A and B are shown apart, each in its own frame.
Chain A
Amino acid sequence: MKKTLLASTMVVAAALAGPVSAEALKIGLATAQTGGLAGYDGPVIEGLHIAVDEINAAGGINGKIMIELIEKDVRSDAAQTAIAVQELADEGVSVLVLPCDADPSLAAIGTVTTAQIPAISTCASSPTLPMIGGDYMFANFPGDNVQATVSAEWAWAQGHKSAYIIYSPDTQYTTMPLYFADVFSALGGTMMGQDTHTIGQQDFSAIATRIAALNPQPDVIMTSSYEPDFPSMLKALRAAGVTAQVIGSDGIDSPTTFSLGDVGEGVVFSTAGHATEGSPLADFNAKYEAVTGNASETVFNAVGYDLVVVVAEAVKAAGGSTDPVAIRDAMAELENVRGATSLITYKGTNGMPVREVTLIRVKNGARELVGQPSPTASLIPPARMQ
């Protein structure tokens, strides 16, 4: 009896501790599997799993370092993230993955910095995150300021001379048009004005009337609002007779945008990638379908895949080391890593990666690739703290 008890205790202990191997890279996931952030973290983690399985099936990084995932659900809560990250640090992980939102990621900073473990947010796009987070905090998504630079440069190149922005100060993300205005002005464009709304406002008739009354009309209207605000805003603008080019951001990269009919036609938005034939993203999508049996519905699957690609490259660059500090140093110097969505560069940034931004136009209710330009580095506005 005693023996059984001891044996079962050991089994449980082993189950809790996970298999230990000499050549293993432990990645600790303190992400939201449940709660409000699960919708954002979920697709990224799915793609991340595909990458890990693929690398392990091929014998690990450099053919010998197997990746081991330790997953903890932080239930979209900041306090739980702080706890989970500490536990993962105690378990000796080499890399941490944090939720898609600044709150929990920032709550984990204390531990991340003390334990000196590089941490990557699944998909947070606020450029302030690595700035506040310090040397060990990395992002995994084109920053808001980078996306805005790409769309502003594109608009200017199209010959648009004047612009109007509509944004919501409710979140960092929805203030992306302020970056757009900075870049567009720097290029020589004229900002004709701006309007703000609250998230979930739905009624945009007042704003639409104000813009319709402008003379001359602005060439471009830029916003980073998303559902349900964006469709209402667009309908209100078109109903008021505003015909300006509307530019959006990755928040509207959803099926709704393509099903708006005539109203949606011609809208251009920036996003993380586009699967042209033979592109790495198309390869990934094929892989995703082979593994899961379903077509990938969001580019965030590929974003998760890229996260592991970046980590694996950093390990290789660190000479196969699994030491967290070595990985961080190597990661900060990565340049032109080929991910599924883009070439990814951390060198010369504060942790906010330089990635290609894809511009998509809605045409006949379908996706048309406008281009995948890289932003001009000198034009990218600095992150705003407010």
Chain B
Amino acid sequence: MITSPRKHIIVSVTAIVLAVVVAAVLATVLGTASERVLTVFFISLIAVVGMGVYSGNSGILTFGHLSFMAIGAYAASLLTLPAQLKIATLPKLPEWLATTEMGLLPATLIAVLLTCAVALLIGLAIGKLEGSAAVISTLGLLIIVHGIAIGWRDVTRGSQTFFGIPREASLWVAAIGVIIALIVARLYRDSISGLRLRAGRENAIAASAVGVRIRRERLISFVLSAALMALSGALIAHFLGAISPKKFYFTDTFLLLAMLIVGGMTTVTGAITGAVTITIVIEVLRRFEGGFTLAGWDMPAIFGTTQIGIGLIILFAMFRKPDGLAGLKEWEERLFPGRPGTKAAPDIAQSAKAEPLTATGMTMQFGGLVAVNDVALTLNPGEITGLIGPNGSGKTTLMNMLSGVLVPTKGRFYQGTTELSGLVSHEIANRGIARTFQNIRLFDTLSVYQNVLVAALSTNGGKNAHGRAQAALTRMGVADHADEDAGTLSYGDQRRVEIARALACQPSLLFLDEPAAGMNRDETDNLTETLRALTRDLGLGILLVDHDLKLINQLCDRIAVLNEGHLIAEGTPQDIRNNPVVIEAYLGPNRQD
């Protein structure tokens, strides 16, 4: 379930428990006021990591998560509110609810489950949205739930105070809550689902092409984060004893978001750093707000200093640390780099689906432009097929259609006798067709190993994923870079990692879109050798798009030529070199060979 080294998890969990317990003990020693500050801090931190579970891993900023906090708060409060008070203040409650009165623990559990159910429905609805639409939809969620909380007077008392909630959320209750929340968030980040989601955050198209079902992973994290928000909501309600809808609206949304953004969305370390930083700044500044005397100088009271302080920190963070104070790595990942060695890497297993891919009538129309027009192509296992043509002739479009990135306007393609047309990219990846991209699409902030591991985990049911990942890295000669961030590698290494990632899918067919682009002659020759070995050893079929005709001629068994969307020639390199149509259309009159 967990993809990161066990050591990281053990260190992290131990530190979380220790830090929370030490802080709680210290606060107890310092007195009731400190206990209260820390209790509120703990409860806020639950909400911050809750938002981080979704926003951090999916990369979609959320403004709407306080609505789950509201649902959790009201649901739990309705269950713990003394029955007598419920009858007096909420006379229109259904009888079963009015007479229910339970403890904080069962009430919180029920509230969390209810919130999960709501989040599942909402997540299914807004999960289809991408980019800024996804962000704005969360804003809509906040406003709608706020409106419901105000309007549903029979249950929530409307915008009036919902009071009389038993004050049972003591410091230690909050401490247990925050320990659970931090551990859940930390484990999720490095769970299979969390890793896939982070890959999707880095590059959605590439993640999909290695078998990741991004929407499903998003939904999982959405529901999980809603559960944490509900926990936070239930606790804050039982700390304050009185809530109203405005507690779960813009003001608190921005405060909690500020904590998350200042600290760094993508890590639990970041959430903690942000919450601690902002809380300390607030606590320091607010003590000076009321005016003070320093060395005979009377400072007047300047209220609002804390808000200005928070504003300045956010500005500082945006200018100097756009990824947040904690950056993109957990502290234990920085402190103990490395991962479990699956050093004895067996070679990549041969894919079982060694069947030819047959495409007929492939057509892609973008508005009035026909990018690919009625192309038929067969790709055989163990054979390297080159796809060439002038710029804009439809090579990448054809490859995109065959890998499910684009849905063809017309045409079908089959693997053996199984139809693949109509399948989406992650399904095609699971049928043994893997690919690389013309403009490199790596998961930049993930390590090289994680890049490849995601692919292995998301295809073939994730069987022997570590072994496959290691084997793919070794095959492509990038195993030494396994612990480095993919985005920091040289261009040539990035190309190789991308191929390794595709290999980890255990494909029977590999699509390479300009794999030699940007490589020097030595690197290209090296690549030629590697690719040849892949077909030889594994029986892999390769579809190769490149402008480097030397590479194509050396490597390919067969070449297909596209021009203006039409397949104008197909044959051995020898045939193609001598084909007058190709010479005229593509190589031109100044042919040099």
Give A residues with C-beta under 8 Å from B: 8, 11-12, 14-16, 33-36, 70-73, 75-79, 82-83, 86-87, 89-90, 102-103, 106-107, 109-111, 132, 169-172, 199, 385-386
B294 CB contact (under 8 Å) in A11, A103, A110, A111: A11
Are B89 and A16 in contact, CB atoms less than 8 angstroms apart?
no
Assess A73 versus B158: contact at CB under 8 Å? Given A79-B40, A83-B40, A106-B163. no
- Kindly list chain A residues whose C-beta atoms are within 8 Å of the C-beta of B290: 70-73
Beyond the given A73-B286, A77-B247, A90-B32, please list 6 additional residue pairs across the A-B interface where CB-CB is below 8 A: A14-B293, A33-B303, A34-B304, A83-B40, A102-B161, A171-B160
Interface of A is mostly: helix
Are B244 and A33 in contact, CB atoms less than 8 angstroms apart?
no
Are B32 and A86 in contact, CB atoms less than 8 angstroms apart?
yes
Q: Mark B267-308, 1 if CB is under 8 A from A, else 0.
A: 000000000000000000011011111110000010110110
- Is B63 positioned at the interface, with any CB of A under 8 Å from its CB? no
- Kindly list chain B residues whose C-beta atoms are within 8 Å of the C-beta of A8: 295
- Is B590 positioned at the interface, with any CB of A under 8 Å from its CB? no
Q: A196 to B405, alpha carbons, bound, how many Å?
A: 55
Are B306 and A73 in contact, CB atoms less than 8 angstroms apart?
yes
Name 19 interchain pairs, CB-CB below 8 A, sorted by A.
Answer: A12-B292, A15-B294, A33-B304, A34-B303, A36-B251, A72-B290, A73-B286, A73-B304, A78-B243, A83-B40, A86-B32, A103-B242, A106-B161, A106-B241, A110-B241, A172-B160, A199-B159, A386-B88, A386-B90
- Is B369 positioned at the interface, with any CB of A under 8 Å from its CB? no
Q: Mark B36-49, 1 if CB is under 8 A from A, else 0.
A: 11001000000000
Are A132 and B244 in contact, CB atoms less than 8 angstroms apart?
no
Q: A76 to B240, alpha carbons, bound, how many Å?
A: 14
- Is B236 positioned at the interface, with any CB of A under 8 Å from its CB? yes
Q: A110 to B160, alpha carbons, bound, how many Å?
A: 19
Assess A71 versus B242: contact at CB under 8 Å? Given A16-B292, A86-B32, A106-B161. no
Q: A361 to B32, alpha carbons, bound, how many Å?
A: 51
Assess A103 versus B241: contact at CB under 8 Å? Given A11-B295, A16-B287, A90-B32. no
- Kindly list chain B residues whose C-beta atoms are within 8 Å of the C-beta of A33: 289, 303-304
- Kindly list chain A residues whose C-beta atoms are within 8 Å of the C-beta of B244: 103
- Is B309 positioned at the interface, with any CB of A under 8 Å from its CB? no
6 closest A-B pairs (Cβ-Cβ)?
Answer: A33-B303, A106-B242, A15-B292, A107-B240, A87-B33, A102-B161
Are A385 and B89 in contact, CB atoms less than 8 angstroms apart?
yes
CB nearest neighbor in A for B35: A86
A132 CB contact (under 8 Å) in B31, B32, B164, B307: B164
B458: min CB distance to chain A, Å: 42
- Kindly list chain B residues whose C-beta atoms are within 8 Å of the C-beta of A109: 241-242
Q: A286 to B30, alpha carbons, bound, how many Å?
A: 47
- Is B167 positioned at the interface, with any CB of A under 8 Å from its CB? yes
Q: A75 to B40, alpha carbons, bound, how many Å?
A: 15
CB nearest neighbor in A for B167: A110
Are B158 and A169 in contact, CB atoms less than 8 angstroms apart?
yes
Assess A107 versus B306: contact at CB under 8 Å? Given A72-B290, A171-B160. no
- Kindly list chain A residues whose C-beta atoms are within 8 Å of the C-beta of B303: 33-34, 73
Are B301 and A35 in contact, CB atoms less than 8 angstroms apart?
no
Q: A107 to B88, alpha carbons, bound, how many Å?
A: 20
CB nearest neighbor in A for B31: A90
- Is B140 positioned at the interface, with any CB of A under 8 Å from its CB? no
B242 CB contact (under 8 Å) in A77, A102, A111, A171: A102
Are A83 and B287 in contact, CB atoms less than 8 angstroms apart?
no
The CB with the most chain B CB atoms within 10 A, among A12, A199, A386, is that of: A386
- Is B410 positioned at the interface, with any CB of A under 8 Å from its CB? no
Q: Mark B144-158, 1 if CB is under 8 A from A, else 0.
A: 000000100100011
Q: A86 to B38, alpha carbons, bound, how many Å?
A: 13
A107 CB contact (under 8 Å) in B33, B91, B242: B242
Are B307 and A34 in contact, CB atoms less than 8 angstroms apart?
yes
- Is B239 positioned at the interface, with any CB of A under 8 Å from its CB? yes
Q: A107 to B306, alpha carbons, bound, how many Å?
A: 21
B240 CB contact (under 8 Å) in A71, A78, A385: A78
